[in-house]
Amino acid sequence: MDAIRIYGGKCLDGQTGIQGSKNASLPVLAATLLIKGTCEIENCPEISDVYHMLRLLESLGCRVMREGTLVRVNTEHLSEGDMPADSVGVMRSSIMLLGALLARVGSVDMDYPGGCVIGARPINLHLQSLRKMGVAIEEREGGFSARASRLKGAVHQLPLISVGVTENLILAAVLAEGTTVIEPAAREPEIQTLCEFLKQAGADIVGIGSDRLTIHGVDRLFPVHFRIPADRIVAGTYLTACMCAGGRIFLQDAPCHHMASVLSKAAEMGAELSCEPDGMLVMCRAKPAGCERLCTGCYPDFPTDLQSLFMVAMAVSGRAGQIEETVFENRFRIVPELVKMGADITVMGNRAYIGSTQRLQGAIVQAEELRGGAALTVAALAADGTSIVTNRHYIDRGYEDIVSDLRELGAEVELA
C-alpha cells in the first residue's frame, strides 16, 4: 500500500505531537563520524531518510543500535567502506558524509547523491570549497573520489547561501588544522542544532545563528548524549492542514521560536495562533483569507519546504495571489496535480499565479516529492469528496506517520 485515501470536507479537532526534525537529525548523524566512541541521539525521527543514513553509517563500519527514537552510533571501527548506492542515490543529504569522512579517515569514494526532484542542487560548490581545504578530488562517471592527509582551515566567501555547503564545511572544519571562516553561512535552525551538537562534543565554533561562522579546529571530539529538536516543517504542515480544513488543533512540542515567518504569514491569512510552553494552539474558524504575495528565501525568511503547503491554503482561499520561489527552480511540480483537483494556478518562471478557486474536488493525484506529497494530502482534506494520494513513499521520507497524526487531529484518512 503506497497511497493515502482522504475523505475531505471535515473540520479538524484534536492534538498530536511533533516528531524530531528530519533536517537536524541527518547532519547530526553524519557528525557522529567525527567522534570516536558511542553517541546517543534522542528524538531521532523514524523516517525513511534516517533509515538510509543509518544504513550508510553501518556500511562504513559503524555499529548502529536503535530503540524507537533513540539511536546509538558507535564509530570505533570506522572505515571507508562501500556506501550502498540505493541509499546514496535516494538521499541528497548523503553528501554531508563527505566532510565528516575526510576529517576522520581522509578518503572518500562515493556516487553522486540523489533526492527529491525539486531542482538541480549541484554539488560543485561542495567540491570547490573542500578543495580550498586541501582535498584532492577526482570526478568520474556517476561519482567521485576525494583524498586529504589532513584538512586545512580556510576562509570561504561563498557565492550564495547554501544549507548543505554550510553543513559540509562545518563538519570538515571542526577537526581541521587552523581556523575556518564560512561567510555567508546558512542560518537555519538545523545549522544551529548541528553546531550545538558539535560544541557539546568539544568543538570550538563562534557565531552560531549568524551568517558568519568561525571554527577553530580541535584535535579531538568526545561522545555525547544529544536530543534532536522538534521538526518545524512537520509543525508547519499540520498548521496548514488546519488552515485549509478549518478547526481547532494543538501541536505538542511545535518549535514556535523557529517559525516566525510561517506564523506571521498564517496569521495574515486568518489563523488564530497561541504559542504555549508545550506547543502551539491553532484555530481556524473559516477558510484562509488568502494573501497577495508569498516569497520563499533562506532562514529567517519563509521556508521553501512549506511553499507548496501554503500554495494549497492560497488556492482554497477564494482570493488571487502569487508565490515567488527563490530557492529551488523546480518546486512547482505539485501544480498539475492541484489543477486536477480544480485549482486555478498558472506557472511562469519562478512565479505561480493563483486564481480565485472556491472549492477543490477530490481526485486521484500523484506525489512526486516529499513536501509536495504532504501538500496534496492537505489539499485533499479541504476538498469535497474522496481523494487518493499515490507514491506515499515520498511522504515517508519526512513524516513518521502522517496518516496516524492526521487521524489524531480529527481527519478521516487511511492507507490505500
Catalytic residues: 116
| Calpha distance 104→35 (Å, rounded) | 8
Q: Which candidate, 130, 149, 150, places its Cα nearest to that of 219?
A: 150
The 10 Å Cβ neighbour count of residue 144 is 17
Q: Residue 409 is which amino acid?
A: L
| Calpha distance 166→153 (Å, rounded) | 14
The 10 Å Cβ neighbour count of residue 245 is 27
> 59 near 84, Cβ under 8 Å?
yes
Residue the block writes with cell 483569507: 289
* Cα Rg, the chain, nearest whole Å: 21
Q: Is the dihedral of CA 239, 51, 20, 80 positive or negative?
A: negative
Question: How many helices and strands, by DSSP H and E, does the chain display?
Answer: 14, 23
Q: How do the residues of the chain divide into helix, strand and coil, expressed in percent and rounded to 5?
A: 35, 25, 40
Looking at 181-227, list the stretches that DSSP marks H as alpha helix, in order from N- to C-terminal side: 189-200
Half-sphere exposure of 413 (CA within 13 A, CB side): 30
φ/ψ of 89, rounded to 5, equals -70, -25
Q: Residue 117 is which amino acid?
A: V
The 10 Å Cβ neighbour count of residue 149 is 10
373 contacts: CB under 8 Å, gap ≥ 6 = 367, 389, 391, 392, 394, 395
Q: Is the dihedral of CA 164, 44, 116, 55 positive or negative?
A: positive
Q: What is the DSSP string of 405-416?
A: HHHHTT-EEEE-
Hey, is 226 helix, strand or coil? strand
> 225 near 38, Cβ under 8 Å?
no
Half-sphere exposure of 42 (CA within 13 A, CB side): 4
Q: Please report, for residues 173, 178, 209, the alpha-carbon distance to residue 195 in angstroms, rounded to integers and kept in the order given.
A: 11, 18, 9
